[in-house]
A and B are shown apart, each in its own frame.
Chain A
Amino acid sequence: MEWLGFVNYAVFMAIFIGIYALLALGLNIQWGYTGLFNAGIAGFFAVGAYTSAILTSPFAEGRVGGFDLPVPVGWLGAMVAAGLIAWPIGKICLRLRSDYLAIATIGVAEIIRLVVKSESWLTNAARGITDIPRPFGDLAYTMSQLAYLAIVAGVLLVAYLLVERQFASPWGRMMRAIRDNEDAARAMGKDVPYRRLEAFIFGSALMGLGGALFAHFNRTITPEAIDPMVATFLVWIMLILGGSGNNRGAILGVAVVWIIWSMSEIVTDRLPHEYAVKAKYLRVFLIGLMLQVVLRFRPEGLLPEPQKRGPRPDPAASGARPPASPD
């Protein structure tokens, strides 16, 4: 049954791509559309993963939880919790300009990681939470994976459609205006700090949802999963490569990076043993190189942000009315 193995592997990759696509969509809202340099994705990922884990896992000695709630409640809770955590952080940090915001968010993610690692009453500290239910997890291997893929794909599709719609709306145009020329947007009477906060919370909630889907897929969440390398910077690479400001680009970037990352190991394993072990590092190098090449030759990413330009002096010619404030 060789082909079944390939199906399992492909389904696994698709699930993974779906989960990371949610993170990339969240980042796209923050960076791609609003220009917020959030380098703390791992933090919101962790909040979502742990919130859902605590809400849905069965009772365990020595920590909060054991609420045993249905999985969708956990996922909703994950989004709400990530959004709630994002609110005070955004309130404080969003006054900072790009690189300072990046530093502040790295710090915040690190604080969250240390809290997760230390507070055993909340997260069972370094040992992590196990026994998290996976929907349809009792089915046989392939069926269970397929069922989870269907769920992830459904969630991603809904998230994608909503985000797309949001950006085609006046709100989206306003966000781009704030990103490209803050002073002009302010002069137009837009409440810039408030709008930025909206985007920050919105994006963070999606990242939280991604974290929750990840925790349920693995049926366990440990602090190792929120390492900044795999939970923050990898997502950045995916978004930059795919094309920030373009939701399809974000998803494509995730697929390209993950497929190269994962399948390159199959290729390097064909090498003789002593090289095969060393070649594992080549994969890390390959991702970095790919980012360099894209930044050098195609800085807008594989799928650039769609530009709808009309002749400037005559807004009617572009077929759109002047953007109205959504308020």
Chain B
Amino acid sequence: MDDYLKKHESRIKDIRFMFHLFRKSLLSMIGLAIIIALLLVALFAPFIAKEHPTYAEVSTEQGTTQVEERWEIHFDKKLLPPSTDHFFGTDDYGRDIFSMIVYGSQTSLRICILVIAISTLIGVVLGGLAGYFGGVLDEILMRITDVFLSIPYLILALAIAAALGRSIDHIMEAMIITWWPTYARLMRGQVLTIREQPFVEAARSVGAKNSRILLHHILPNSLAPLLVQITLDLGAVLLVAAGLSFIGLGASPGTAEWGLMISDGRSFMFHAWWYVTFPGLAILLVVLGFNLLGDGLRDVTDPKLRR
């Protein structure tokens, strides 16, 4: 154990230093606070919200079952302005916008985390293998990513999501298809750099297996740039998802999803400003949080900026 610590002493020092820098940056800490708040809101939604969805089990077109949320409709309370009863007012179905935003945080988090986790996984595996082994595999992968990266994110996701049909799962699938090439490229670039480093050469010369080199030497050393990219992308994913929902491709009607709420509220903008305003503020705040956090992480991990 002691040996381990000694071996990694410089790296631990490094991380400590980064942590110190991060704590010193006010904006990064604000970002962190926003994200922690988001997690807490999502986790404790039932205790924060005033109205709560009920849940029903339904089978999907694919034959699987899923649990869907339902919000009680009260047409007699429609489009009420913000008040102590309804902090953010009500929508055209008389539902409490505050509660829907609170529960909507769960949906947003789920979209961000799943999309990024799966695209990172695909990207890291494919990019890592391609970069490490090179050759035909690398060439094929690069040409494929070229194609995907030649269409802007939103537009590719738009085309795919339109084809898959309206549902949150489908926009997540569309975004994964759109996003993995970025990570594949990033990982490949990392591998190409790290592969030539002396410590990898050394490991190879003592006969370490490819799998060991990839998992124990290359992967840990590419984590920092990956992490920065992930944090920044979490915000971007949320924006694209909200955009798709806004166009009308995302969440199914009646669910608490921020982009959908803005889309629904749009026709009532002139006599119910609160309907579009608050869900938008929620998106802005969360994306801001991810971006502040990501910027902060990048600043502390990028040696050039560390002054």
- Decide whether A and B are members of one complex: no
